[in-house]
Amino acid sequence: MNLWGYLFGSKRKDGAPLPQIFFTDTLSGKKEIFVSQRPGLVLMYTCGPTMYGPAHIGNLRPYMLSDTAVRALTEAGYQVRRVINITDFGHLVTDGDSGEDKMTKGLRREKLALTMENMRTMAEKYTMVFIDDLAALNIDVEHISFPRASDYVSEQIAFIKTLEQKGYAYRTKDGVYYDTSRFIGYGKLGGIALESQQEGARMKAYSEKRNPADFVLWKPDPRLGWESPWGRGFPGWHIECSTMSRSLLGQELDIHMGGEDLIAIHHNNEIAQSEAISGRTFVHYWMHNAFLTMGGEKASKSVGNVVYLSDVKEKGFHPLALRYFFLQAHYRTPLSFSWDALAAAASALERLWKLSSEVAEEAGRTSAPSEARDQFLAAVRDDLATPQALGILWDSLKSDEYAPEEKWGLLEDAEAHFGLCLLNPPVTKARALAELPADIRELVARREKARTSKDFEEADRLRKELGDRGYHVEDSPDGPVIKSL
């Protein structure tokens, strides 16, 4: 924590003191009051996905976390500078320097030759999908930097060279390694005792490693990669985050985020690299999200229990239903995904939209302060307690204690923190369909069933029947759209 900021407090540009915000820091293991290094400015880095396929909805959870934190900080008066890196080339080694590289796997899946050009093209394709997915979740992508690791190779080489000059790196026939025994306090984040017990296997594969936890900084490859003082090859996976965060945000970050699987190795390695060079605290607040699980297990491509945002949309859900689903759980709690749970979130959001439309009308979109607003802000500022904040929102909207203007004021705050389109709810198909008479809905459903089971004759007959009743059906990529004639 920044002592100066702690003693003297941070001020907004208008001179008003910033409200207190608390975050749980993985390093101290405690909930801490947040103080930025520079008054009113927050430097935030979130580890990005590897672009070997579309990001599954579990992969999206860290960016929901950073977006929720950004909204809370921005509403409190901070300016936030944020970076999400894009891992767009393979390292021919994984997290623990063993197994197959994800990008190589991705190219094989797409039946593409292992070339640098194909790697970059595949990565760009999935980067676009990723950014579109974030935008669909109402994450403000316009104000996020998405640096590509392949654009920072010379900086990564320079970083490794400095580590070598400072005596933190050594060469073996398998490449350049970081010497973790040289870094005092290595593994301080989350405690990696368990991890090092599993290192035996790695030690065998890379027998020239001096210590079990040592990790690769440069991996030679005679066929591919970039030229370097250590021959052609690739930077190790961990170095890109240390390098790009330094290039874009500086040597000390306020907040660094990612999924909890990154704590043991990746983030400890980032600390070892960055602090060896700067001699300063690399990150002041480490924040990690718990997993999204499916069928009791971490959702992951290797297990195969994954769902993509495209699946969510194909099933007719609004992407914001997924956003609502995420907000129902605290970021440090595992979140169990099922289609039923998503359907429940979707219908809750539909009800919220309906309620907010009513309040908009009653209050004429004028807002007033209330105790509920204070409680709501206290909840989101208390380590982003979104489930509690949602509870306060629901209770207050349903209560007779609050005037419509007070409810509208609360909705304005809720929208700023949640990004659920509460102030201008979209007209969704579910709502439009729900507003049709029951017998018409029944005809639409029967026609949809006939159409999906390719009984086009029956589908056409039902379309005609609907037409006779005054309703016109159009098929769109995400379901039928009904218009009254």
259 binds, among ligand AMP, Zn ion, none (CB under 5 to 8 A by kind): ligand AMP
CB within 8 Å of 79: residues ≥ 6 apart:
40, 41, 42
Q: Which of 10, 24, 26, 50 binds ligand AMP (CB under 6 A)?
A: 50
58-77: contacts with ligand AMP (CB under 6 A) = 58-59, 61-62
Look up residue 369 and give its two tokens: 């302060």
How many CA atoms within 13 Å lie on the side-chain side of 56? Answer: 16
Place of tokens 């970081």: 178
Closer Cβ to Zn ion, 241 or 393, answer by number = 241
- Under rule CB under 6 A, residue 277 binds ligand AMP: no
Order across the sheet with 215-220: list the strands.
169-172, 175-178, 215-220, 233-235
The verdict on 192 binding Zn ion (CB under 5 A) reads: no
CA–CA separation, 391 and 348 (whole Å): 12
- 435 C-beta neighbours (distance < 10 Å), count: 10
Of the pair 47, 482, the CB lying nearest Zn ion is at 47
Contacts with ligand AMP, 217-256, as mask; x by CB under 6 A: ----------------------------------------
Binding segment for ligand AMP (CB under 6 A), chosen from 298-306, 312-320, 367-375, 387-395, is: 298-306
Question: Which is closer to ligand AMP, CB of 91 or CB of 373?
Answer: 91
* Interatomic CA distance for residues 194 and 199, integer angstroms: 9
Decide: is 26 part of the binding site for ligand AMP (CB under 6 A).
no
Token look-up 């009513």 returns 358
| Shortest distance in whole angstroms from residue 14 CB to ligand AMP | 35
Q: Would you count residue 47 as binding Zn ion (CB under 5 A)?
A: yes
Complex with ligand AMP: residue 190 or 258, whichever CB lies closer:
258
CA distance 454 to 477: 16
Among 73, 107, 262, 377, binds ligand AMP (CB under 6 A): 262
Lookup result for tokens 């969704």: 428
Rounded least distance, CB 114 to ligand AMP, Å: 19
Q: Which residue has the CB atom at the shortest distance from ligand AMP?
A: 259
Work out how close the CB of 242 gets to ligand AMP at its nearest, in angstroms, rounded to a whole number.
16
Buried b (16+ CB within 10 A) or exposed e, 447-477: bbebbeeeeeeebeebbeebeeeebebeeee
**253 part of the interface to Zn ion, by CB under 5 A:** no
Q: What number of chain residues touch ligand AMP (CB under 6 A)?
A: 17
Residue 418 zone, left/alpha/beta (φ > 0; ψ -120 to 50; rest): alpha
- The smaller minimum CB distance to Zn ion, of residues 180 and 242, is found at 242
- Tell the smallest beta-carbon distance from residue 174 to ligand AMP (Å): 23
What's the rounded Cα separation, in Å, for the pair 350 and 328? 15
Cα 102 → chain centroid: 19
269 interface partner picked from ligand AMP, Zn ion, none, CB below 5 to 8 A per type: none
Instruction: Pick one of 47, 64, 76, 389: the residue that binds ligand AMP (CB under 6 A).
Output: 47
What part of residues 334-353 is at the interface with Zn ion (CB under 5 A)? none
Q: Please pick, from the candidates 126, 130, 218, 291, the single residue that binds ligand AMP as defined by CB under 6 A.
A: 291
Q: Does 300 interact with ligand AMP (rule: CB under 6 A)?
A: yes
56 burial type by CB count under 10 A (0-12 exposed, 13-18 middle, 19+ buried) = buried
Token pair recorded at residue 69: 């934190």
Helices (H) and strands (E) in the chain, counts: 18, 16
Phi/psi for 38 (5° steps) reads -110, 140
Q: Which residues bind ligand AMP (CB under 6 A)?
A: 47, 49-50, 58-59, 61-62, 258-259, 261-262, 289, 291-292, 298-300
